[in-house]
Amino acid sequence: MAICVGLQALFEGSTEDPNVPGLGLIKGKLDRFDDTNKAVPHIGWNSANSSSKSLYGLRPESKYYYVHSYKYPYVNGELESQGWTVATGSYGEETFVGAVAKGNILATQFHPEKSGVAGLKLIKSFLTGEGEKTLGQEVTGPAPTGGLTRRVIACLDVRTNDQGDLVVTKGDQYDVREKGEDRNVRNLGKPVEMAKKYYEQGADEVTFLNITSFRDCPLADLPMLEILRRTSETVFVPLTIGGGIRDTVDTDGTKVSALEIATMYFKSGADKVSIGSDAVLAAEEYYSGGHKLWGNTAIEQISKAYGNQAVVVSVDPKRVYVPKLDATRHNTIRTRFLGPKGEEYCWYACTIKGGRETRDMDVVELAQAVEAMGAGELLLNCIDCDGTNSGFDLELISQVKAAVRIPVIASSGAGNPAHFEEVFRETTTDAALGAGMFHRGEYTVQQSKTISPRQD
Ligand code: 1PR
């Protein structure tokens, strides 16, 4: 059984690295998705339609989790004439090979181990041998539901509270302490249990953000490692982990690179790492060095080792109001929400250290720099909207989507399911993330998926 790049390796080669031959078990070469009109990598839940032929229990109405930039373009009958049964997916105008099987060989471009119940069924069909027995037989079923769905992500901000327990918390504009006298850290539950609950409610992904990074903790004892290990035992959708991913010095004085930290997370069950503060500092160097890439930033190193799709950059912007469009050198928009002095324009300043420090860099500059460095996705928070339950900042999301070709996750401000509907309708965002409304039990993840539900 071959998964994702495992399927790709069965072919003769790929434009990803023309000098490295594939196994050549299947004739043909892979190429990259065209990103003129769509985000690349292709990330999310899409179909694998085997045209009424049984293929290890794949179902036309189910969706499977893909994350890749290279694909084998589907040509009707080509692989079938080599004896393969084929399932296809479609992304924009392109139809690509989602899965192939012949005898006891099964290869999937998507990740069955991250495709929830539908993926587990496929793995079972492979392990029991049932899939091989029925391979290629005619089957009837519902009509295929093609195309990529837009993801709904549940996010858990995690930190240690004043009693030393690791808790899921949630801030209002990044302030996670209660409003009362004692100002305790808000405790909304336990990370592993909450992640499982959101998986069962249909979350397309789960993100953990360690919002106080590694305060004086030996790296090997990082509590987030244990959380990932335990979560990946019961949660079969992609897991992202963020917080503290940068070159650092361990408590015993040993230098540890961001790549080593990311490796520890991947080995513990993470599918993607999310980089916040370090990305802003790296982007500053990128511009001060005249757009030069040195290959030494965390983003470049991790994306080189694990692929762009494994690196998310988490952005923490906040609005800076200005009286006119050309008041600063920054990428400025006209806004429907006027500033405190009636200003009609604003730009979004990037912050680091959980919003504690504002830098002279706007969100478009950051997004374009990290895309050039190899980030595969942006997690676009908004300090002004965070925890307000007033809806996503559609102006911010539209500005960033227009500036980059990598996928964008809209975040901050979701207060009810209609806000998800709105952000998917009004912007081209690839995914939307919610936190507080799920943690407080006001709505389930499933209720937020009216626009892009997927079936297991
Ligand atoms: O800088 O690489 O160590 O990463 C730190 C990470 O922790 C960053 O991703 C940063 O966004 C996050 N973070 C730091 N401080 C806070 C805080 O809240 N005090 N949380 C924080 C960011 C934003 C979202 C939140 C959405 C949705 N939280 O994760 O879940 O805003 O909330 P809502 O739907 O309830 O409005 P580094």
More confident residue, 162 or 218: 162
Exposure string for 321-343, b = 16+ CB within 10 A, e = fewer: bbeeeeeeebbbbebeeeeeeeb
Q: Would residue 439 show up in a list of annotated catalytic residues for this protein?
A: no
Quick check: 87 pLDDT over 90?
yes
Active site residue: 204, 300, 316, 365, which one?
316
Quick check: 450 pLDDT over 90?
no
Indicate whether residue 314 lines ligand 1 (CB < 6 A): yes
Indicate whether residue 171 lines ligand 1 (CB < 6 A): yes
pLDDT in tens, 25-81: 999 999 999 999 999 999 999 999 998 899 999 998 899 999 999 999 999 999 999
Quick check: 167 pLDDT over 80?
yes
Residue nearest to atom 27 of ligand 1 (CA): 412
- Give the CA angle between residues 424, 426, 430 to the nearest 5°: 35
Question: In angstroms, rounded to a whole number, what is the distance separating the alpha carbons of residues 9 and 69?
Answer: 14
First to last CA, the chain: 21
Indicate whether residue 8 lines ligand 1 (CB < 6 A): no
pLDDT at 168: 96
pLDDT at 371: 98
Q: What percent of the chain lies above the pLDDT cut of 90?
A: 88
Quick check: 454 pLDDT over 70?
no
What are the Cα distances from residue 331, in Å, to 23, 89, 285, 359? 47, 37, 19, 14
Active site residue: 42, 68, 111, 439, which one?
111
Q: Would residue 382 show up in a list of annotated catalytic residues for this protein?
A: no
Q: Would residue 111 show up in a list of annotated catalytic residues for this protein?
A: yes
User: How much is the average pLDDT of 120-139?
Assistant: 96
Whether the CA torsion 421, 424, 429, 431 is positive or negative: it is positive
Q: Take residue 120 and report the two structure tokens written for it.
A: 């587990």
pLDDT at 252: 86
* Distance of CA 185 from the midpoint of ligand 1 (Å): 14
* Distance of CA 224 from the midpoint of ligand 1 (Å): 15
Question: In angstroms, rounded to a whole number, what is the distance separating the alpha carbons of residues 378 and 316?
Answer: 11
Q: How confident is residue 221, by pLDDT bands cut at 50, 70 and 90?
A: low
Active site residue: 157, 362, 371, 393, which one?
157
Q: What percent of the chain lies above the pLDDT cut of 70?
A: 97
Indicate whether residue 448 lines ligand 1 (CB < 6 A): no
Residue nearest to atom 10 of ligand 1 (CA): 354
Question: In angstroms, rounded to a whole number, what is the distance separating the alpha carbons of residues 272 and 241?
Answer: 6
Q: At what angle do helices 394-403 and 363-373 cross, to 10 degrees?
A: 40
pLDDT in tens, 230-245: 999 999 999 999 999 9
Q: Is the complex ipTM more than 0.95?
A: yes
**Among the atoms of ligand 1, which is closest to the Cα of residue 437?**
35
pLDDT at 219: 75
Q: Would residue 316 show up in a list of annotated catalytic residues for this protein?
A: yes
Indicate whether residue 387 lines ligand 1 (CB < 6 A): yes
Q: Are strands 64-68 and 42-46 parallel, antiparallel or unpaired?
A: antiparallel
User: How much is the average pLDDT of 437-445?
Assistant: 97
pLDDT at 455: 60
- Give the CA angle between residues 356, 359, 363 to the nearest 5°: 105
Q: How confident is residue 17, by pLDDT bands cut at 50, 70 and 90?
A: very high
pLDDT in tens, 388-406: 999 999 999 999 999 999 9
**Among the atoms of ligand 1, which is closest to the Cα of residue 277?**
1
Indicate whether residue 209 lines ligand 1 (CB < 6 A): yes
Quick check: 5 pLDDT over 90?
yes
Q: Would residue 326 show up in a list of annotated catalytic residues for this protein?
A: no
Indicate whether residue 174 lines ligand 1 (CB < 6 A): yes
From 172, 217, 314, the mutation candidate for ligand 1 (largest count of ligand atoms within 8 A of CB) is: 314
pLDDT at 218: 67
Q: Which of 204, 196, 259, 263 is nearest to 231 (CA)?
A: 196
Q: Which of 124, 110, 100, 6 is nearest to 65 (CA)?
A: 110
User: How much is the average pLDDT of 263-277?
Assistant: 96
Indicate whether residue 382 lines ligand 1 (CB < 6 A): no
pLDDT in tens, 405-428: 999 999 999 999 999 999 999 999
**pTM for this one?**
0.95
Q: How confident is residue 297, by pLDDT bands cut at 50, 70 and 90?
A: very high
> Is residue 258 within 8 Å of residue 219, measured between CB atoms?
no
The phi and psi torsions of 144 (rounded to 5 degrees) equal -65, 145
> Is residue 89 within 8 Å of residue 66, measured between CB atoms?
yes
Q: Take residue 114 and report the two structure tokens written for it.
A: 């991250």
Q: SS in 3 state form for the chain?
A: CEECHHHHHCCCEECCCCCCCCCCCCCCEEEECCCCCCCCCEEEEECCECCCECCCCCCCCECEEEEECEECECCCCCCHHHCCEEEEEEECCEEEEEEEEECCEEEECCCHHHCHHHHHHHHHHHHHCHHHHHCCCECCCCCCCCCCCCEEEEEEEEEECCCCCEEEECCECCECECCCCCCCECCCECHHHHHHHHHHCCCCEEEEEECCCCCCCCHHHCHHHHHHHHHCCCCCCCEEEECCCCCEECCCCCEECHHHHHHHHHHCCCCEEEECHHHHHHHHHHHHCCCCCCCCCHHHHHHHHHCHHHEEEEECEEEEEECCCCCCCCCCEECCCCCCCCCCEEEEEEEECCCCEEEEEEHHHHHHHHHHHCCCEEEECCCCCCCCCCCCCHHHHHHHHHHCCCCEEECCCCCCHHHHHHHHHHCCCCEEEECHHHHCCCCCCHHHCCCCCCEC
